[in-house]
């Protein structure tokens, strides 16, 4: 279950100079307290607390890595300076005097990074960053809406009052609401009493794209840019990849999964992300790869490349963390990391067509390795599926490089282990990140055992014997974070079908269910009278347990208590309704009537939980 935000009474927040109107409410999430401005504005979606918790821990981890890299470069320069000073010490006095004027010892100061939250709304995310991330220099909270900026300033005054010392901000703990609610008069002055002059959150009202384009010059660039819009983030990517520093972190959320992971809007997906979505059980991983491809293409135009650190499909949205670097030589590898995917319309068998080829060769004279680039060969398949006879649909182009950086995932989990940064959704962060870390980096797309069993019209085998069989056959196996029960393996789709054909030998399919033209009929071609297949490529051993099966299914012993997959936290949940001032500017995958219905249902559920007076 997603943690519910804490409702605060009007009396509690009034002592900080904030007065709640009749249609407003104050909420507490971790270290931050915010006031929701009105019924028409974006409400606080409790499911998104995981997004903010994960982002906070990921940014803390990245900032520590960035600080460590800068420290190493600083120490390397110091060592080089010391060597030059020693070399000059034997020279004439004139040169020695010149070097003696320079300081020989320097002390490294931890790097404070600059951040931008381009679409801030009420400022909850920026406030949490300012309070919970130690190495943050400042975060610029931007929004186009004047109403949102006004709400942001009120929330800053609530969280960073001028009479509170700066070093106490992170320790600030607003008192819980009293059982007895005290009404605040409607005519009370809602203007905040003031914001601390050293507040780390800098407010800006303006267009996010224009603001980022104004920061393309090297001295003005941000170290971190967070994009969390309603719907697609594609309009902001070109500006974002230009205004982030080398080694900086780009955090991107996309909530338009109906476009990215569905199959009803291929033209919309292509216009937004430069690739076509696919229809298969692994569509959520394909959606991640489409987003990464879009970011990679945007960066490549400017001689920059992306390094995915963590890419997650979560609930109703995607969240990716990528580092951006400037190196034209590496950008040339983008073609070999990008490809089309041919997906069978019946059985979801797939074949990947790379867009380019990259081979590494080593010089016999110098011993240095060089990369050679060329065109890829194809096509990777015939016009019809060799497994079931179905036709192929084309998806992509999309990213086929790694989705995650294992070292970053380990550091993120170590950040949680330090117990210095408590968050409410820690168990789920551990589960998702550890699962993502253990995913096979070179095995695109997962399969779902129940989905394939549905293709064969057979009983679905348990996960453990399937993992036994694949491991004994010499294949590598892991879980996927995208969907509960999903499996990733370097075995081909045809070999997975052979696994099921072996299973069907002892668990036969009813022949009456094998209708002409169905996927099962093609997958079980040359079927015997008892419904079992007569021909298959290879046999699998089901009964002998493999020693690595438990670690594949359950992870390491420390991950046993982690929450790998979130269940739907409430009856009506999903993306919140965009503020009315933004409705013409954003893409929404649901009709306005459906979004309004979900909003009303959410408010009704909250009213039942906390009482009519509080809402």
Q: Of all residues in the chain, what percent carry a pLDDT higher than 70?
A: 79
**Are the beta carbons of 288 and 313 closer than 8 angstroms?**
yes
User: pLDDT, tens digit, for every residue of 52-72?
Assistant: 999 999 999 999 999 999 999
Residue 173 CA to residue 180 CA, distance in Å, equals: 20
User: pLDDT, tens digit, for every residue of 295-330?
Assistant: 999 999 999 999 999 999 998 899 999 999 999 989
Residues in the chain, total: 615
Strand 477-479 relative to strand 136-143, pairing: unpaired
Examine residue 397 and say whether the peptide bond preceding it is cis (omega within 30 degrees of 0): yes
**Are the beta carbons of 64 and 44 closer than 8 angstroms?**
no
Higher pLDDT, 337 or 3: 337
Mean pLDDT, the chain, whole residue set: 83
Alpha helices in 112-145 (DSSP H): 124-132
Residue 315 CA to residue 481 CA, distance in Å, equals: 11
Residues 6 or more apart in contact with residue 364 via CB below 8 angstroms: none
**Are the beta carbons of 52 and 421 closer than 8 angstroms?**
no
Residues 6 or more apart in contact with residue 217 via CB below 8 angstroms: none
Cα–chain-centroid distance for residue 422? 20
User: pLDDT, tens digit, for every residue of 444-474?
Assistant: 999 999 999 999 999 999 999 999 999 999 9
Q: Supply φ then ψ for residue 249, to 5 degrees.
A: -110, 130
Q: Supply φ then ψ for residue 165, to 5 degrees.
A: -60, 145
47-61, 74-88, 591-605: segment of lowest average pLDDT: 591-605
User: pLDDT, tens digit, for every residue of 536-578?
Assistant: 667 787 777 888 888 888 877 665 566 767 655 555 455 555 5
Give me the mean pLDDT over the 246-275 stretch: 95
What is residue 555's predicted lDDT score, i.e. its pLDDT?
A: 79
What is residue 181's predicted lDDT score, i.e. its pLDDT?
A: 40
Burial of 10 (0-12, 13-18, 19+ CB in 10 A): buried
Q: Confidence band (pLDDT; 50, 70, 90) for 586?
A: very low
Q: Of all residues in the chain, what percent carry a pLDDT higher than 90?
A: 55
Burial of 57 (0-12, 13-18, 19+ CB in 10 A): buried
Structural domain spans, the chain: 442-554
Give me the mean pLDDT over the 589-613 stretch: 50
68-82, 395-409, 467-481, 555-569: segment of lowest average pLDDT: 555-569
CB under 8 A, 24+ apart: contacts of 73-76: 74/106, 74/108, 75/108
User: pLDDT, tens digit, for every residue of 120-173?
Assistant: 988 999 999 999 999 999 999 999 999 889 889 989 988 998 888 877 776 544
Give me the mean pLDDT over the 402-407 stretch: 97
- Cross-strand partners of 273: none
Q: State yes or no: pLDDT of 231 exceeds 70.
A: yes
**Are the beta carbons of 119 and 227 closer than 8 angstroms?**
yes
Q: What is the DSSP letter of 406?
A: H
Alpha helices in 381-529 (DSSP H): 406-417, 426-437, 449-456, 463-472, 493-506, 519-523
Q: State yes or no: pLDDT of 350 exceeds 70.
A: yes
């Amino acid at each position: 279950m997603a943690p519910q935000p804490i409702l605060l009474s009007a009396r509690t927040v009034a002592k900080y100079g904030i007065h709640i109107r009749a249609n407003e409410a104050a909420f507490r999430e971790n270290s931050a307290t915010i006031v929701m401005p009105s019924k028409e504005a974006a409400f606080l979606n409790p499911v998104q607390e995981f997004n903010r918790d994960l982002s906070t821990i990921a940014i803390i981890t990245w900032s520590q890595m960035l600080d460590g890299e800068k420290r190493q470069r600083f120490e390397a320069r110091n060592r080089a300076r010391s060597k030059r000073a020693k070399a000059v010490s034997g020279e004439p006095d004139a040169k020695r005097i010149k070097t003696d004027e320079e300081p020989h010892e320097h002390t490294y100061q931890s790097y404070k990074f600059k951040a931008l939250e381009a679409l801030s709304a009420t400022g909850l995310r920026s406030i949490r960053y300012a309070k919970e991330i130690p190495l943050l220099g400042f975060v610029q909270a931007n929004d186009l809406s004047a109403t949102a900026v006004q709400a942001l300033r009120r929330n800053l005054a609530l969280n960073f009052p001028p009479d509170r010392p700066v070093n106490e901000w992170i320790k600030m703990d607003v008192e819980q609401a009293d059982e007895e609610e005290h009404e605040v008069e409607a005519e009370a002055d809602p203007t905040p009493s003031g914001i601390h002059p050293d507040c780390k959150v800098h407010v800006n009202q303006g267009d996010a794209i224009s603001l980022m384009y104004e920061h393309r010059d090297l001295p003005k660039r941000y170290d971190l840019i967070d994009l969390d819009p309603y719907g697609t983030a594609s309009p902001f990517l070109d500006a974002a990849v230009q205004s982030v520093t080398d080694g900086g972190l780009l955090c991107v959320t996309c909530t338009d999964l109906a476009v990215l992971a569905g199959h009803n809007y291929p033209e919309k997906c292509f216009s937004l992300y430069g690739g076509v979505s696919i229809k298969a059980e692994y569509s959520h991983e394909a959606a991640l790869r489409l987003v990464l491809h879009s970011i990679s293409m945007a960066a490549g135009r400017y001689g920059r490349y992306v390094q995915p650190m963590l890419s997650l499909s979560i609930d109703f949205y995607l969240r990716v963390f990528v580092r951006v670097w400037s190196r034209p030589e590496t950008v040339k590898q983008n073609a070999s990391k990008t490809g089309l995917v041919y997906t069978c319309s019946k059985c979801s068998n797939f074949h990947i067509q790379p867009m380019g080829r990259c081979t590494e060769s080593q010089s016999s004279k110098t011993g240095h390795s060089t990369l050679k680039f060329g065109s890829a060969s194809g096509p990777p398949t015939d016009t019809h599926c060799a497994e079931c006879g179905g036709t192929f649909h084309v998806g992509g182009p999309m990213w086929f490089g790694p989705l995650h950086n294992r070292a970053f995932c380990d550091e993120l989990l170590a950040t949680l282990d330090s117990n210095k940064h408590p968050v409410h959704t820690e168990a789920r962060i551990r589960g998702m990140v550890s699962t993502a870390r253990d995913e096979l980096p070179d095995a695109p797309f997962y399969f779902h055992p129940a989905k394939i069993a549905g293709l064969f019209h057979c009983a679905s085998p348990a996960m453990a014997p399937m993992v036994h069989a694949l491991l004994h056959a010499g294949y590598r196996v892991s879980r996927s974070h995208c969907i509960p029960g999903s499996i990733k393996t370097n075995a081909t789709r045809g070999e997975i079908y052979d696994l099921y054909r072996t299973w069907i030998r002892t668990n036969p399919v009813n022949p009456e269910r094998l209708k002409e033209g169905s996927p099962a009929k093609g997958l079980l071609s040359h079927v015997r009278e008892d419904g079992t297949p007569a021909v298959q490529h290879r046999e699998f051993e089901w009964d002998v347990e493999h020693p690595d099966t438990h670690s594949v299914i359950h992870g390491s012993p420390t991950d046993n208590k982690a929450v790998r997959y979130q269940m739907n936290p409430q009856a009506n949940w999903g993306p919140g309704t965009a503020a009315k001032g933004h409705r013409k500017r954003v893409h929404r995958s649901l009709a306005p009537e459906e979004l309004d219905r979900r909003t009303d249902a959410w408010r009704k559920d909250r009213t039942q939980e906390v009482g009519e007076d509080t809402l």
